[in-house]
Structures are given as C-alpha cells and as structure tokens.
C-alpha cells in the first residue's frame, strides 16, 4: 500500500486470541484463542512479548503485517486491549479477527462469522460494549455442550478430554490456516474454506 507521499505502508491486521492469563487457565477450553495464536505465531517465526494490556507478537506474510495479541486483562475486560491496539495501530474493525471458544458450535466444527451476538461469552461481551457494536469478524472454535446440567463453568474452564485432543490439535492447525485466508484473501474466502469442514 502506497500513501499520498509515495511511501510504502504495510497492510495491517489485528488477530486477537481470547483467554485468561495464569497457569490454572492454560490449555483449557476457554483459552483456545491463546492456543491458536501460540501455534500461528510459532509456525511463522514470531515471538510474543509483554506489552500494553497484552502479550503481542508480529508476523509478516506477503507484505501484510499481522499484529497478534493475547489480552492480559482477563476475559471480561478483553475489549480494553482490543480497542487500545486497534487505535494504536490504526486498524479498521474489518481487519480484526477474534479467536474464541464457542459452546453453541459442536466440537467437530469451526465457524467463521462476520458479526453476531456475544452469545453469553464474556470476552465478546466486553468487545461489543467497548466498540459499541458486534460487527467484527470472529472465528468460533466449537467446544460443544456435552456436560451435565449446571456444569457449564466447569466445562468451559476445564481441560480437554483425552479423546478430544486429536481433534483439537487438528482444529488449531486449521484455525491458523483460517488466519492466513483472512489476511491474504478476505473474510468470505476464509468462511468458504473453513465453515463446511468437519473434524
């Protein structure tokens, strides 16, 4: 991209993995956004460092600058980190991509959407409150709702079952590919490539 003064400006994107900081939350269903970003950044030679309101890494792909953040605000204040980095890097809402766990999507699926409600997810609720709308792209990583009545919190904050681990690993890999689709082509292409897959 060339600006009005003839200087090359790298195309920017903001990829946000939602989760909670702290060892007790590592590799839980609710932290899948962190795990996807860790995989993506490591695969592309990036490195996370502590920064304002988030762990931040930068990845460059074919002339695009991908700013990856894992908010350190805890889930219910995720919007603060998203807004800060959008404003700091001057990134439009159409170029942010939120990676989130989703109870309403079965474990065997990943669903990418251009917009939608928070679905009771505290991270999405915070983002919606701070942005003032819910029109931002998101990748919904299905965690399923196979848990006894009244045990939703334990399910969401729990570790993956042994029998789920192979599917989760494959879905993390495909979710990283979805980031590449989103950045190098567009949201519709990413949706077409990912939404009909079953794992």
Whether 3 is in a domain gets the answer no
Signed CA dihedral, 22, 43, 78, 12: sign only: positive
32 found inside a domain: yes
pLDDT digits (tens, 9 = 90+) for 70-115: 999 999 999 999 999 999 999 999 999 999 999 999 999 999 999 9
Phi-psi region of 129 (alpha: psi -120 to 50; beta: other; left: phi over 0): alpha
CATH number of 125's domain: 3.40.50.1470
For position 197, what pLDDT does the model report? 97
Identify which of 134, 114, 102 has the alpha carbon closest to the alpha carbon of residue 36: 102
pLDDT digits (tens, 9 = 90+) for 110-125: 999 999 999 999 999 9
For residue 199, tell me if it sits in a domain.
Answer: no
Average pLDDT over residues 28-45: 98
Residue 47 lies in a domain: yes
What is the pLDDT, as a whole number, of residue 10? 77
User: What tokens appear for 153 in the block?
Assistant: 């919190």
Residue 148, pLDDT > 70, answer: yes
Band of pLDDT at residue 146, cut at 50, 70 and 90 = confident
**Tokens of residue 27, six digits:** 């590799």
Q: How many domains does the chain have?
A: 1
Of residues 97, 102, 105, the one with CA closest to residue 198:
105
pTM: predicted TM-score of the whole model, two decimal places: 0.94
Residue 51: inside a domain: yes
On whether residue 73 sits in a domain, the answer given is yes
Are 131 and 117 a contacting pair, CB within 8 Å? Answer: no
Q: Identify the domain containing residue 167 by its residue range.
A: 11-194
Residue 50 lies in a domain: yes
Question: Active-site residue 133, yes or no?
Answer: no
Separation CA 37–CA 98 (nearest Å): 10
On whether residue 2 sits in a domain, the answer given is no
Alpha carbon separation from 70 to 23, 52, 73, 108, 166 (Å, rounded): 14, 11, 9, 24, 24
Which candidate in 30, 121, 133, 189 is catalytic? 30
């Amino acid at each position: 991209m060339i600006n009005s003064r003839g200087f090359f400006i790298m195309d920017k994107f903001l990829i946000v993995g939602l989760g909670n900081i702290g060892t007790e939350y590592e590799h839980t269903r609710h932290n899948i956004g962190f795990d996807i970003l860790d995989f993506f950044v490591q695969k592309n030679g990036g490195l996370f460092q502590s920064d304002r309101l988030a762990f931040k890494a930068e990845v460059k792909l074919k002339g695009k600058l991908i700013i990856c953040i894992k908010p350190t605000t805890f889930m219910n204040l995720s919007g603060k980190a998203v807004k800060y980095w959008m404003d700091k890097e001057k990134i439009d809402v159409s170029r942010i991509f939120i990676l989130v766990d989703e109870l309403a999507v079965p474990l065997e699926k990943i669903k990418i959407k251009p917009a939608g409600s928070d679905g009771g997810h505290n991270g999405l609720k915070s983002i919606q409150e701070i942005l003032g709308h819910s029109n931002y792209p998101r990748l919904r990583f299905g965690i399923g709702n196979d848990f006894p009545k009244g045990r939703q919190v334990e399910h969401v904050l729990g570790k993956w079952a042994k029998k789920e681990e192979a599917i989760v690993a494959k879905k993390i890999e495909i979710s990283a590919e979805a980031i590449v689709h989103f950045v190098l082509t567009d949201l519709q292409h990413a949706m077409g490539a990912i939404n009909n897959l079953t794992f």
